[in-house]
Amino acid sequence: MMTKNLLYIQGQSCGGDTISLLSAEEPDFLTSLKMMQINILWHPSLSTTDGDEVERIFNEVIEDRRPLDIFVVEGAIPTAPLGTGDIYKVLGRPMIEIVKALAAVAEYTIAVGTCASTGGIPASGANPTMATGLQFHNKDKEGVLGENYRSRSGMPVINIPGCPPHPDWIIGTLYFIVEGVLKEEDLDYANRPSVFYNSLAHHGCPRNEFYEFKSSAEEFGQLGCLFEFLGCRGTQCESDCNNRLWLGRTGSCTRGGFPCIACTDQSFPQQNSRFFSTEMIGNIPKYLPKDVPKAWYIGITGLSKMATPERLKINSISPYPRKKGADSG
Partner 1 sequence: MAKTITIEPFTRVEGDLRIKVEIKDNIITDARASGIMFRGFEKILRGHYPEDALVFTPRICGICSISHSVAASSALAAVSEEFVPSSRGQIAKSIVHATETVMSHLTQFYIYFIPDLLNRRFENLKGYDSMLERFTPMKGTSVRRILEERKRFLEILGIIVGKWPHTLAIHPGGITKSLNASEIFRVRGVLRQFISVVEELLLGMSTEEYLQISSVKDFESLFLAENGNLSDLGLFFSFAREAGLMQMGKGSDRFISAEAYLQPDGTSFISSGYWDGEVSELEVEKITESIKFSFFNFREESISPFEDLSEPNRDKPDAYSWAKAPRYDGKVVEVGALARQVINGDPLLREFFHICGSTVFTRVFARLHEAVKLLNAMDSWIRYLDTSESYYSKNLLKSSAKGVGITEAARGILSHWIVIEEGLIKNYQVITPTAWNCSPRDEKGTPGALEQALLGTPIKDENNPVEIGIIVRSYDPCLVCTVH
Q: Any contact of residue 122 with partner 1 (CB under 8 A)?
A: yes
Residue from 131, 157, 225, 312 binding partner 1 (CB under 8 A): 131
Q: Any contact of residue 150 with partner 1 (CB under 8 A)?
A: no
Q: Give residues 201-220 in contact with partner 1 (rule: CB under 8 A).
A: 219-220
Between 42 and 213, CB nearer to partner 1 = 42
Report angle CA 37, 43, 45 to the nearest 5 degrees: 125
Q: Is the peptide bond before 165 cis (omega within 30 degrees of 0)?
A: no
Q: Any contact of residue 125 with partner 1 (CB under 8 A)?
A: yes
Return the half-sphere exposure (C-beta side, CA atoms, 13 A cut-off) of residue 219: 1
- Please tell me whether residue 285 adopts helix, strand or coil conformation: strand
Between 128 and 309, CB nearer to partner 1 = 128
Q: Give residues 283-322 in contact with partner 1 (rule: CB under 8 A).
A: 319-320
Q: What whole-number distance in Å separates Cα of residue 119 and Cα of residue 99?
A: 15
Q: Give residues 88-117 in contact with partner 1 (rule: CB under 8 A).
A: 88-91
Between 136 and 268, CB nearer to partner 1 = 268
Q: Any contact of residue 256 with partner 1 (CB under 8 A)?
A: yes
Residue from 5, 6, 7, 18 binding partner 1 (CB under 8 A): 18
CB of 110 vs partner 1, minimal distance in Å: 18
Q: What whole-number distance in Å separates Cα of residue 31 and Cα of residue 327?
A: 53
Phi-psi region of 228 (alpha: psi -120 to 50; beta: other; left: phi over 0): alpha
Q: Any contact of residue 81 with partner 1 (CB under 8 A)?
A: yes
Between 299 and 319, CB nearer to partner 1 = 319
Between 44 and 289, CB nearer to partner 1 = 44
CB of 136 vs partner 1, minimal distance in Å: 18
Q: What whole-number distance in Å separates Cα of residue 303 and Cα of residue 297?
A: 10
Between 93 and 152, CB nearer to partner 1 = 93
Which stretch in 133-141, 147-155, 206-214, 272-280 sits in contact with partner 1 by CB under 8 A?
272-280
Q: What whole-number distance in Å separates Cα of residue 244 and Cα of residue 161?
A: 16
Smallest CA-to-CA distance from 156 within 209, 106, 114, 199 is with 106
Between 187 and 238, CB nearer to partner 1 = 238
Q: Any contact of residue 27 with partner 1 (CB under 8 A)?
A: no
DSSP state of 108: E
Residue from 129, 173, 215, 235 binding partner 1 (CB under 8 A): 129
285-315: buried (b, 16+ CB within 10 Å) or exposed (e) per residue?
A: bebbbeeeeeeeeeeebeeeeeebeebbbbb
